[in-house]
Each structure stands twice: as structure tokens, then as C-alpha cells.
């Protein structure tokens, strides 16, 4: 006699797809989802630096649960903060809902994959998840910019990679490939595999195989004297440890993705950390934007990163801005319009946060179609 109780989840192949802001992580995962075997269910846990959930809409606008793709978002900064509690809750819910054949995790471009790996490698998940190759995407053109090469998160993403993908290869200069190879070689011994890609198109075979990085992390840490000021390994679950390396400002009192919209039809929220600030807006689904005016406004922005899903008079479109280049893609559906802008904190402080966000808000509202 069967009880109808679902089988226990076990050894789900799991990959982390990491990389800095704008490197093409979402495009890479979309490419991998296109190659998903038709009879399999894949789950995607996606983390965003901003408080708004937008990346999930990118996936859901292309893939549905009926097609075997299940998506869960963890907005609001690095999901490993607070001992990974928000990540664990979202992950547990996603696994229970999807019971996947494979799990893909996309940390925010400002997230810390080592801490994420520590959470996933904890005793609670040891039998549930089979952590396979960790893939880090890098735009080799950024290796000449100290804002990247001196950024702890950028380097940590390379340090925990089983495979480094030099993405956007079609935009490289003649020496870009060798620059990436040399940069990784100077940080890693032994060297991880390095491959190159265009538009985030990855071979699904890259996902397979045990993670050497996770194996190394599980090795016993050599004993150090408590007097050694440079090495402290105990008490890793304390709040001090969690925030020693990185800090994000979170609005814990409310979740902007759930609150009712005010009479104005939109709401704004901000976040900061790791030297960057985000500004995001949610708009009522009844608000329709003029596609031409919206594109013209986006074309004026000089930002580190922008993502948006907008309901326009010509359909629903997703927008990306990376390196001052705008990309637009039509989607099948969305719940409402959302836009998130990330800028460097130094840029924000020079111009004044309120001045920038207030000006952009006015300009964005001006792109709406007149209800009359």
C-alpha cells in the first residue's frame, strides 16, 4: 500500500553561475534552459542586488512551469547574508515545488559565491544537493579597469570557479583572451578550465562533473594558534562573520514585491552595498508606457547596469543596459512594469542620490501614455 508521500529529494545536480554585473549570467542560463531535455524539470534560484525581482520575469517571460522550468527569486542583495536564511527559505520552497532534475543558482553580480557555496555545502543539504561545476563568467575587457580587478567580489568569483568563461568574446581586442588567461593563472594554482563564449551561449556539458572547489573547501583547515591575528576560522555563523566581508542595506520591514501599490500607481525603493547603489520602481499593470519615449529616455542614461520589464503601447519588452548599450527583447507576458538601475556610489554621491532618483522618476513617469 502506498502512502502517496513524495520520494525524498536526493543528489540534485546543482551549479552556481556567477559573474560580475552585466557579464551575461542571465543570458547564459537562458541558453542552458534552451538545451534542457524536454522530459526534465529544471529549477532556477536567482538573486538580485536590487530589492525588486526582475530577473525572474526574464525567465518566466520565455519559459513556463508547464515547460519544466521553475524560478524563484531572492531580491535585495547578497543571498548569503544573515547566514543564508532568505536563500534557504527560497531554495526549500523551490525544491519542494519543482522537485527538479537540475538546479541552477545565479547569485547577484555583487554577491559572494564562496559564502553561497558554504551554505549549500552545509549538513542540511549534503544529501539533497550534488554540487557540480561552478561556472564564473568574466568579460576580459574589464581586466584593464581597477574598479574590477581591485574589487573583492570580482576576484572571489574567479577564485571559486571550476570553469571560467570569457564571455562576450566577439567584443574582445586581440590581447583580451591572453589577458584573461594570465589573470586567472596569477590567482589560481592549479588553473581552472577556461573557455570562451559569445552572448552567453554555453555547452550544457560544462555543467557536469564534481566541483573541485567544493572538494577543496571541505578539506580540514590547518590548526592555527588563537594568538594568530591573521587567521580566525571559528564561529563562522556569527553576525560579525557574515558581515565582515560585505554589507548591504536591506528594508526588512516590508517586501516591495508584495506591498499594494499606492494611488500614484508606482513605488520606489533603494538599496546599497559593495560600492554600488540601486534604485527600483514598480508600476501598476494598468500603466502603459510609450515605447518610443521610453527607449529615447533609456538611451540618455549612463549607468552601471539597468534591467527592466515594461508594458508598452506596442507590447511587453525587457530592457538591458550594459556598457552604455541597450538591448530590447519582446516577452509574452508579465505581471507589471518594473525597472532597476544600478550606479556606482561615487557617481551617486557626486550628483546627489535624491537629485538622481528624483530626476529619473520624473522622466520615467513622463514616458507614460496619457490615460485620456
Q: Model confidence over 54-93: pLDDT tens digits?
A: 766 667 656 678 889 999 888 765 555 544 677 888 899 9
Q: Give 356's pLDDT tier (boundaries 50, 70, 90).
A: confident
**pLDDT, average across residues 197-215:** 94
Cβ–Cβ under 8 Å, residues 92 and 9: no
The whole-number pLDDT of residue 349 equals 65
Phi-psi region of 113 (alpha: psi -120 to 50; beta: other; left: phi over 0): alpha
Q: Considering the chain, what is the average pLDDT of its residues?
A: 83
The whole-number pLDDT of residue 58 equals 64
Res. 205: pLDDT tops 70: yes
What is the tens place of the pLDDT at every residue in 133-166? 999 999 999 999 998 999 999 999 999 999 999 9
The whole-number pLDDT of residue 229 equals 39
Res. 2: pLDDT tops 90: no
Res. 243: pLDDT tops 60: no
**pLDDT, average across residues 346-372:** 78
The whole-number pLDDT of residue 76 equals 63
Q: Quick check: pTM over 0.85?
A: no
Cβ–Cβ under 8 Å, residues 132 and 32: no
The whole-number pLDDT of residue 334 equals 83
Q: Give 248's pLDDT tier (boundaries 50, 70, 90).
A: very low
Q: What residues are paired with 343 via a beta bridge? A: 277
Helix axes 85-98, 113-120, angle to 10 degrees: 60
Res. 98: pLDDT tops 90: yes
Least confident among 24-38, 265-279, 288-302: 265-279
Q: How far is it, in rounded angstroms, from Cα 154 to Cα 21? A: 9
**pLDDT, average across residues 119-126:** 87
Phi, psi torsion values for 35, nearest 5 degrees: -95, 5
165 SS3 class: strand
What is the tens place of the pLDDT at every residue in 302-324? 888 898 999 999 999 999 998 88
Q: What residues are paired with 132 via a beta bridge? A: 210
Amino acid at each position: 500500500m502506498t502512502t502517496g508521500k513524495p520520494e525524498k529529494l536526493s543528489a540534485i545536480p546543482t551549479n552556481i553561475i556567477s559573474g560580475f554585473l552585466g557579464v551575461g549570467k542571465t543570458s547564459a542560463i537562458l541558453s542552458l534552459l534552451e538545451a534542457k531535455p524536454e522530459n526534465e524539470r529544471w529549477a532556477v534560484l536567482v538573486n538580485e542586488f536590487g530589492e525588486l525581482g526582475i530577473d525572474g520575469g526574464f525567465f518566466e517571460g520565455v519559459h513556463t512551469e508547464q515547460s519544466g522550468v521553475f524560478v524563484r527569486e531572492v531580491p535585495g542583495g547578497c543571498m548569503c547574508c544573515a547566514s543564508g536564511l532568505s536563500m534557504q527559505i527560497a531554495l526549500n520552497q523551490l525544491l519542494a515545488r519543482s522537485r527538479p532534475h537540475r538546479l541552477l543558482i545565479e547569485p547577484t553580480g555583487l554577491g559572494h559565491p564562496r559564502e553561497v557555496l558554504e551554505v549549500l555545502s552545509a549538513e542540511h543539504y549534503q544529501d539533497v544537493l550534488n554540487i557540480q561545476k561552478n561556472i564564473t563568467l568574466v568579460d576580459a575587457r574589464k581586466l584593464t579597469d581597477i574598479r574590477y580587478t581591485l574589487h573583492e567580489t570580482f576576484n572571489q568569483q574567479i577564485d571559486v570557479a571550476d570553469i571560467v568563461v570569457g564571455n562576450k568574446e566577439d567584443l574582445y581586442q586581440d590581447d583580451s583572451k591572453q589577458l584573461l588567461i594570465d589573470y586567472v593563472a596569477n590567482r589560481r594554482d592549479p588553473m581552472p578550465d577556461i573557455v570562451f563564449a559569445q552572448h552567453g551561449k554555453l555547452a550544457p556539458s560544462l555543467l557536469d562533473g564534481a566541483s573541485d572547489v567544493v572538494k577543496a573547501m571541505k578539506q580540514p583547515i590547518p590548526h592555527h594558534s588563537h594568538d594568530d591575528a591573521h587567521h580566525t576560522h571559528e564561529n563562522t555563523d556569527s553576525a560579525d562573520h557574515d558581515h565582515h566581508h560585505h554589507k548591504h542595506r536591506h528594508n526588512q520591514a516590508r517586501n516591495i514585491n508584495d506591498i499594494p501599490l499606492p494611488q500614484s500607481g508606482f513605488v520606489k525603493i533603494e538599496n546599497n552595498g559593495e560600492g554600488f547603489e540601486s534604485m527600483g520602481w514598480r508600476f501598476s499593470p494598468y500603466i502603459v508606457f510609450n515605447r518610443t519615449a521610453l527607449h529615447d529616455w533609456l538611451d540618455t542614461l549612463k549607468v552601471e547596469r539597468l534591467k527592466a520589464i515594461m508594458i508598452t503601447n506596442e507590447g511587453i519588452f525587457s530592457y538591458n543596459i550594459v556598457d552604455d548599450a541597450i538591448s530590447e527583447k519582446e516577452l509574452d507576458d508579465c505581471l507589471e512594469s518594473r525597472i532597476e538601475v544600478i550606479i556606482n556610489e561615487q557617481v551617486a554621491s557626486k550628483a546627489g542620490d535624491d537629485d538622481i532618483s528624483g530626476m529619473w522618476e520624473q522622466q520615467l513617469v513622463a514616458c507614460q501614455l496619457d490615460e485620456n
